[in-house]
Every structure is written in structure tokens, then in C-alpha cells.
Amino acid sequence: MNGLFLFRFGKAFAGLILFVFILLRVQAGAQTLPTGVTLVPFYDTNQVSFVRDGARTVGMWEVPGKLQHFVVLDQRGLIYRLYPDTTKTYAPGAIKTYSKGTLADFQAKTKQGLRSEMGAWGIAFHPNFLQNHYFFVVYFGYNTTVNDAVRSDGYVNVERWIMNANYQTATRDTTIFRFYHPATYGVQSMNFGLDGYLYIGTSFYSHHGWSDTTYGRKMLRIDVDHQDPGKMYAIPTTNPYYNSTKPNLKKEIWAMGLRNPWSFNVDFQTGKLWVGDVGEDHWESINLVQAGQIYGWDDGGNSEPFTDTHGVEGNCPGGFTLGGTNGIPTSTSTNVPANYKAGTQTARPGFTCDSITNPAWSLSHTSGSLRFHCVVVGPAFRGDPASPFYGYHFISDVQTDSFYVLKEGMTAPQLVGSAPASVNTAAENTDGHNGIVQIAEDSYGNLYSVEVDWHYAGSIGGTTNPLPSGERLYHEIYRLSHAQLTARTTPISQWNISRSVTDKSGLIFNATGSGFIDIPKGFSAVELYDLRGKMVWSEKAAAASHLQIPSGIATGVLRARFVQ
């Protein structure tokens, strides 16, 4: 569900829901954590299977307002419903009876192939989904004039879809944002931030990541609730390049210099963007992406010969000028960084290591005890607050099917477990694309692992590249399991809002027209913000107080920050 926490205010007012994001202060100190995290089934795979129908499962999201009801995205251009039998009672952690159905099918519009990475990859639910039923899909589509299987160019499309009232079908509404994709492969991803804006990670390998006139290798930020002239979206005035007068500059840019930011999450306690940026032959990066920052990747960076690659993989030492004549670095020192890739293009003459932001963490392919090859950044665990895992982001690696945890203040991820042999696809990982591709979550804090196996550069078996004898495909979803990776018994944060009478605004009100909010234990004040980040109300009080919200404050979707 991309971390959006839901509150239900009674059956009579189920359609009126206030999303409240609780930004708690978390200490960043590292500690030794338990090991043994593994994967277990959470639904009966004899009844529901993504393997049997050859689905390329690339992501799963909980539907806002439908606890533990999910949508599952198939790279081919299918969206499935995955929903439990709610007439039965289950013990905590028990395997549930789930059913699966097709919510939407847009395979005819989705371009695939070319080393497996095209197709559909991302879904994001609108922050006000309970009122408008909007969700957004990002996928690679055909060139509008050439719909053939040979050409690899086309367009990245961000579309708005509407889910029907009973959550059983969805209809494409409109294309919000689209841009040309050159003849290279790459995955796109997206999430809503705490500010209500849509963040889109792009990964076109032939674009200049350091160029502010292209969309490739960027983090983009757009407002899907308003429209600028000639657009189906608005560019937020707080974007870092909004006031620039440079011709052809892309004001949607939030940050530049990323290579393949195909997994990123918004930490809903800090608001930070945790971005996994897949490297090439030496380093993986995890960035805490900030506005206006420029990271190390420029152009090139695919699996072809490195002659067109220009940029820095991993950390860039100070003192070097990147992008001199023919991309040759110049420096007062003769020691060129070993991880610098000199190309034939000069995107930024005079660009230096001091011009770019190093990753928050650089993860080596070949050295050290932790070796990463295709990093996947998952959400922070928000299950039982008493769990030692609470507040740690779960990290994985496609090629090893291992699980790590990480939070700010740690020097490196800590290994805490791996997929069991019955699930692990590492032995079959013939082209580096098979394994865990997403870590999902639900409103109780459960974490899930989405597994996919393209097998031999995109083939899914069949007559072209049939499976060798004894090998099988993996396209399943599992729950992360550990004795101390425990879920909440109620949806996250539901306890901090009192249930009361509501009016048409969607906020909680009592009979006199004022709302109430409970301050949790350990906190002394509360602040309410609208989705543009403007504080609309604050109040100090003793811990566990039941506070009255004055009438007349901003209505709609708000978030709460509790202060210690």
C-alpha cells in the first residue's frame, strides 16, 4: 500500500477515512539483530498460484480500506486481485484461503522484451483513494506509430485508473504523464510522498543522468491533483528547478544522476525517499534522495561494452574533474578513480566529484562479507513496536534472495536471513534477473516478498527457450517470517484516533462539530499537516490525552506528527 496508513471510523462511515501518517522520532543507533528471517506461504498455493499461469509477478500492494486485500502487478500488463475468504477465522500467521481474479488487462498496450526489464512495473494508490478510487500505473508502452515486436523504443506511460466500488474491476481513466523511451531497457517506479506528490524513478540507460533537459536517470516529482496549461498534471512550485529560465529544462526533475532506481520507498516516519539504485559491474547504491541533488551516474551503464559509459559507480573521491576532453578525467593527481567510467561524451565539462552527492551506502559486488548485485530496497518494518526489527528498512538482493536490515546511522546493512531452498532461485539465476523483486507490506506491518523468474533473458519457457530438465519457474509471493517479526493485532495507527460521529468532510467530528485525537503514550504534543506540508493545528498536552480538534481547520487528507 506504499506505506499509507488507514483508519476506519465505523461501518456507517466506511467511505469517509482520514489518512494519518505518524512521524515518530526514531533513534538511528544500530544494534545486533536476530537472524533467521525466512519466507513462508500466507495463502494456499494449491488453490491460488501465480506459477501455473506463468504470471511475471513484479509487485504487490494492499488496497486502501480493504485490509489484506491486494493487487498484484504482472509485468505483461495484467493486474490481479488477491483477496482472502473473510468468512473464516484464522490464527495469527496461519495460511489463509485466498482467491485470485483479474482486475485489469492492458497487455495489448504493454511493450516487453529486450532483457526482461520492460513492461509494467509500478502501482501507486492516490492518498485520497477512499474518496476518489484513483490509482496510478507506470508501464512501458508501444510507440504510438509503430506497434511491432521488433522495435524496442516507445513511451513510458503514467496512467490514472479508477477502481469500481466493489473493488472487482478497474478502468483506465487517462494518461497523466508520458515521455519517449529510447531503444534501451530499464524499469520505472513510483510512490506518493508525504507531501501528496507523485515521485517517479526513471532509468533510461542512454540518457544523460547529469542533464537537466532529459527525463532519464532521474527522480521526478509531479502534482496529479492539479493541471498546468497543456498538461494533465502540475509541476510543484517547490521543485528545485521550477524557477529556472533555461530552455528545454525539465522542471519535473527532483534529483538527477541515478542509474536504475527501480525500488524505492517513502519512510512514513521521516518522509525520506529510500532509493535502491542498481549498479553495473562494481557497486550498488542506496540513496536517501533529496531535492536538487546530483548523484554519480551520467550516461551508459547497461550490459554492453563500457565505451559509452560516463560517470562514477559508487563513491567519488574529491579533487577530480569529470567530463574533460572525450570524457577523460583531469586532476592534479594522476590517480584516476578505479570506479570512474570514462566515455566518449562530455555531458558536463568541468564537472567534479565535489559536484555530485555520494550514495548513503555503497554495496560492493565483489569485496567484503556482504556482496550485492541487484539491490532491492523495501519499507521499514512497522509491525509490533516492541520488535527489535521495528523501524529498520528491509533490504534484499535479487541474485541471492537474502534479507538485510538497515537504518540511518548504520555503516552497512546487516544480514538477517534468506529464502529457504524451496523458494530460493539463486541456483537458477542464469542471467541475474531472477529472485526477489519487491518487498511489500500491509496495514498490520506484515512484510511480503514478491518472487519472479524470467529465465534466460525474458523467456518464460515455451518453444523458444524451453526449461532445461529439472528446472522450474518461480512466480510466487511469500510472507517474511520470524518469531520477532510480529505483526500488530490492529491496523497500524488505528488506535490513535477516536471513533465518533463524522460529517461530510471526512474528518472525525462529535455532535458539536469538533474532532478528537488521542496522543499516544510517550508523546507530549500533536501537529496536524495538510498534504502540502502546511501545519493546520498543533497542541501540547499530557501523554495519552484525548484532545479536541477545533472546528474550521483544513479538511480532507491530513497527517499527524506526534512530538516527544
Cα–Cα dist 507/515, whole Å: 7
How many residues make up the chain in this entry? 564
Cα–Cα dist 55/454, whole Å: 10
Strands 189-192 and 170-181: unpaired
User: By the 8 A CB rule, do 142 and 111 touch?
Assistant: yes
Identify the pLDDT of residue 23: 34
Q: Other CB atoms closer than 10 Å to residue 48's CB: what's the count? A: 19
User: By the 8 A CB rule, do 519 and 562 touch?
Assistant: yes
203 — phi, psi (to 5°)?
A: -145, 50
User: By the 8 A CB rule, do 121 and 138 touch?
Assistant: yes
* Cα radius of gyration (the chain): 23
User: By the 8 A CB rule, do 301 and 280 touch?
Assistant: yes
User: By the 8 A CB rule, do 308 and 319 touch?
Assistant: no
Q: What is the pTM of this model?
A: 0.79
Domain limits, the chain: 1-30+497-564
**Cell numbers for 553:** 481547520
Please give the chain's pLDDT, 564 residues, in tens: 333 222 222 332 233 223 333 333 333 344 689 999 999 999 988 888 787 666 788 899 999 889 899 999 988 899 999 999 989 888 877 899 999 999 999 988 887 654 457 789 999 999 888 878 999 999 988 765 554 444 557 788 999 999 998 899 999 999 999 988 765 666 789 999 878 899 999 987 666 788 898 898 899 999 999 999 999 999 999 999 999 999 999 999 999 989 889 899 998 777 899 999 988 777 889 999 999 999 888 765 443 333 345 667 778 766 666 654 444 454 444 455 666 655 544 445 567 778 889 899 988 887 767 778 889 999 999 888 899 999 999 999 887 889 999 999 999 999 999 988 777 655 555 555 678 889 999 989 999 999 876 554 343 333 444 555 555 556 789 999 999 999 987 776 432 332 222 332 333 333 334 566 777 667 788 777 665 556 778 888 776 677 777 776 655 556 667 776
Strands 375-380 and 361-364: unpaired
Q: Other CB atoms closer than 10 Å to residue 501's CB: what's the count? A: 15
